[in-house]
Structure 1
Amino acid sequence: MKKLLGTIVIVLILGAAVYFLSSYLFVTNKAGYYQVKQAAITGKISVHDKPGTYLKLFGTVTTYQISDMNYFSKSTLEGGSGEEADPIRVRFNDGGTADISGSIKFRLSMVEEDQLLLHQDFKNYAKVQSDLVRQVVTEALMQTATLMKAEESYSSRRSEFTTLAEQQIRQGIFETESKEEKYLNPDGKEFIERSVQVKLDKDGNPIIRKISPFKRYNIQILQFVIKDIDFDETIDALIAKKKEAEQQKIVAQANAERAKQDAITAEEQGKARIAQAKADEEVVKIKAVTEAQKEYEVAQLRKQKAEEDAAALLIQKEAEAKAATLLVRAGLAPKDKALIEKEKAIGIAEEMAKIKFPQIMITGSGNDAASNPFNAVGLDAFLNIMDKLSRKEEN
């Protein structure tokens, strides 16, 4: 019984010892991480980048996250907190300042030599974040800001600012050179504008003044984002004035374009009214010509009918006259002759009274010569016939 009890006690002691010493004896590496182990006795350093548990044996283990984000932002909602996540302040070449917010996603090298070198230089992952990643990003942003004016980074060169910053994070800090250019202002006064530019080699590539630590440790940039550039009050006021001026310019251009279109519209409307007026006049003219042509044709028909009526009456009266003449020649008395002459004259007058003459006559011979209105209705022809008839009777 005493032996059993002793065995149980020994097992419990060993179990407790293993439990409390397990963290010194074993260690587990999770997926997405790698660990650098330094042996307790020999001091030998090894890298374990496979997920799983292995012997620690009282050695020192440092864990590194393979891929991670580094935030620099004034808002905790965008990721990160504390001073190590504050926005990065830069100064542009015109003296303006700004706080830049953004983030960078990076991936550490999986090559053992790079991992050991990184561990040797920074000792732990927190130092990699603060003393490597953030410092490289800060230097790249500050160097990029010297290449342009504050207002340019807000408008015309915003994308270029991001590109230049990312290139310097990857490759290193560029060599720069300053240039001076002379200009004449609208008043004719000369002034000098100074600018800073990236110095290029003979092949047109930027000259690297300082190799990037990212290149030294083979750290990859998976994503680099500049979310906001918060300028100081002076630059904000300058940008606001320029924005207002641009808006006024756009409004002025729009008004000018509208006035131009209104002028074109008015001109086209005037042309349309002139064309309409000409068309209306043409319609009136055509109607007048048509009416005149119609009246002329009616007058011609009436003239023709009057001539036919006169010719028929002439034939009738000529026959009556011949009959009367034959009677006279046959021995009629002067009284009977006078009576016949009277009845003939009355008959002619009655027949003439029956002839319908037009109320409106359009006359003209077409050669600007004066025309006889009696001829237009056949009256003149009728009178000539009567004159000839009288002469025949006298004979």
Structure 2
Amino acid sequence: MKQLSELREIEMPVGKFIFVAIVAIMLAGSYFLAGQILVTNDAGNVQVKQAAATGTMSVRTQPGVYLRLFSDIHNYKISDTYDFNKEGTGINVRFNDSATANVYGSIKYRLPTSEDNILAIHTDFRSYEAVQDQLVRAVVEAVVIQTATMFSSEEIYSTRRSDFVDMINQQIKAGIFATKYSEVLRKDEDGNSFIQRAMDVRRNDQGQPYIAQESAFARYHVELIQLVLTDIDFDPKTDELIAKRKEAEQEKIVAKSKAERAKQDAVTAEAQGKANVALAEAEALVLKKTAVIAAEREKEVAIQEALKAEEVKKAIIARGQADAEAAKLKVAAGLTPLDKATIEKETKIEIAKALSAVKFPEHMIISGGGAGGGVNPFEAVGLKALYDLSNQMSGSADGAK
């Protein structure tokens, strides 16, 4: 009995293990069968279903749960990004001046959602990974490499980078442009001749480019949303040449700036000189006019004083003549010697008073006569006339005696 009990204790765990294993197999099978019976299409994806029995293909563009029934399901992202922005993923290009570079960036694109276009893509590429590699990457690389041949490295780092990006965009959408090669003899700023080689786009009469190879983006209706070039890494030799060109350009700009400054300084100095001359001329003219005005004023004052002196002279002469006539009449009437002496004394006193009252002009204008010589200044102010009058009076008195 004891051995039978021990045997049962050993058999019970084995039975439990088998039961658990069967349950696990059933659950796994159910999960597998569920995945083969039902399938979920996530938002932002399209699915291509190939029926298990018939091989018929259909497209599901709306998100949701669908019957799979052991069919093959292929998922495609409607919108995605192809990134060539990491080390080792850049696109190596050669420009028309033989410089090389690695171009880094990314492109965002959108697949078509119509059933015919999705089926065409699936038929040719069979998987989404193949679409990214054989369609998107292949087109972008071919276009970037081809476009680089139409530009020089100097144009890319200096003035025409935007043109480079724009031409890549156009060719991704439409296809590779047909090109033509040309050589033109030119001269640099120092007068040295050089041959400029260029690849240009061939265009029709309407200015539209000829398409040498249609783009897969156009063929499969893939939409280019955005292209971004984050860096163009030139080879070391080209980087060195670019650095030297930049240094030369900077020196040229500085030299030009200095020349312009010197030219402006010269213009400023010339203008300042003219201004100084004009100021000096104006100051000299002011001084001249001031002197003329002062001289004219002094002349006018002298003329007025001379006229005044002439009037004084006339008045003195008239008064003296009146006094002399009065004295003459008294003498003629028979004056005594005392009266005569008194009259002479009073006359001379009056003449002295008159002379003391004469105000001589500060300025006198004396002009020479014709044949008679110069004018006596005493005659000009009436002094001589007074003196002569006094003598006449004395002579008259003596005659009366």
TM-score band (shorter)?
A: 0.7 to 0.9
| In structure 1, C-alpha distance between the alignment counterparts of 2:216 and 2:130, rounded to whole Å | 14
| In structure 1, C-alpha distance between the alignment counterparts of 2:98 and 2:171, rounded to whole Å | 22
CA contact (8 A) 1:184 1:191 kept: yes
The residue type equivalent to 2:136 in the other structure is: V
| In structure 2, C-alpha distance between the alignment counterparts of 1:371 and 1:168, rounded to whole Å | 114
CA contact (8 A) 1:311 1:382 kept: no
| In structure 1, C-alpha distance between the alignment counterparts of 2:155 and 2:134, rounded to whole Å | 30
| In structure 2, C-alpha distance between the alignment counterparts of 1:246 and 1:373, rounded to whole Å | 91
> How do residues 70-109 of structure 1 correspond to structure 2 at under 5 angstroms?
70-74=82-86, 86-109=89-112
The question of 1:237 aligning with 2:240 is answered yes
| In structure 2, C-alpha distance between the alignment counterparts of 1:310 and 1:187, rounded to whole Å | 95
Counterpart for residue 80 of structure 2: 68
Structure 1 position 114, deviation (Å)? 1.5
Distance 1:37 1:371, change over 3 A: farther
Counterpart for residue 327 of structure 1: 330
The residue type equivalent to 2:289 in the other structure is: I
Distance 1:263 1:57, change over 3 A: same
Structure 1 position 363, deviation (Å)? 5.7
Deviations 1:358-385 (A, max 9, x none): 34445669xxxx984838x941x55357
Counterpart for residue 3 of structure 1: none
Q: Structure 1: give runs of 5+ residues left out of the alignment.
A: 1-9, 76-82
Counterpart for residue 231 of structure 2: 228
| In structure 2, C-alpha distance between the alignment counterparts of 1:236 and 1:158, rounded to whole Å | 16
Identity %: 47
Count residues with an aligned counterpart: 371
Of 293, 298, 303, 2:301 maps to 298
Q: What TM-score do you get using the length of structure 2 for normalisation?
A: 0.82
CA contact (8 A) 2:321 2:389 kept: no
Moved more, 306-315 or 335-344: 335-344
Of 259, 264, 267, 1:264 maps to 267
| In structure 1, C-alpha distance between the alignment counterparts of 2:223 and 2:376, rounded to whole Å | 115
| In structure 2, C-alpha distance between the alignment counterparts of 1:41 and 1:373, rounded to whole Å | 157
SS at match of 2:329: helix
| In structure 2, C-alpha distance between the alignment counterparts of 1:103 and 1:362, rounded to whole Å | 107
Counterpart for residue 146 of structure 2: 143
Computing the radius of gyration over CA atoms, which structure comes out larger, 1 or 2? Answer: 2
> How do residues 224-373 of structure 1 correspond to structure 2 at under 5 angstroms?
224-333=227-336, 337=340, 340-341=343-344, 343-345=346-348, 347-361=350-364, 372=375
Structure 1 position 118, deviation (Å)? 0.9
SS at match of 2:98: coil
The question of 1:129 aligning with 2:132 is answered yes
| In structure 2, C-alpha distance between the alignment counterparts of 1:263 and 1:364, rounded to whole Å | 58
Distance 1:279 1:362, change over 3 A: farther
| In structure 2, C-alpha distance between the alignment counterparts of 1:163 and 1:194, rounded to whole Å | 21
Counterpart for residue 45 of structure 1: 57
Moved more, 303-312 or 342-351: 342-351
Deviations 1:159-217 (A, max 9, x none): 22112212221122222232223346789876543322223345443222222111111
Distance 1:98 1:35, change over 3 A: same
CA contact (8 A) 1:307 1:382 kept: no
Q: What TM-score do you get using the length of structure 1 for normalisation?
A: 0.83
| In structure 1, C-alpha distance between the alignment counterparts of 2:204 and 2:317, rounded to whole Å | 125
Structure 1 position 230, deviation (Å)? 1.2
Deviations 1:295-351 (A, max 9, x none): 223223322332233233223322221221111101125675466446534543453
The residue type equivalent to 2:80 in the other structure is: D
| In structure 2, C-alpha distance between the alignment counterparts of 1:362 and 1:17, rounded to whole Å | 147
SS at match of 1:179: strand
Moved more, 282-291 or 190-199: 190-199
SS at match of 1:206: coil
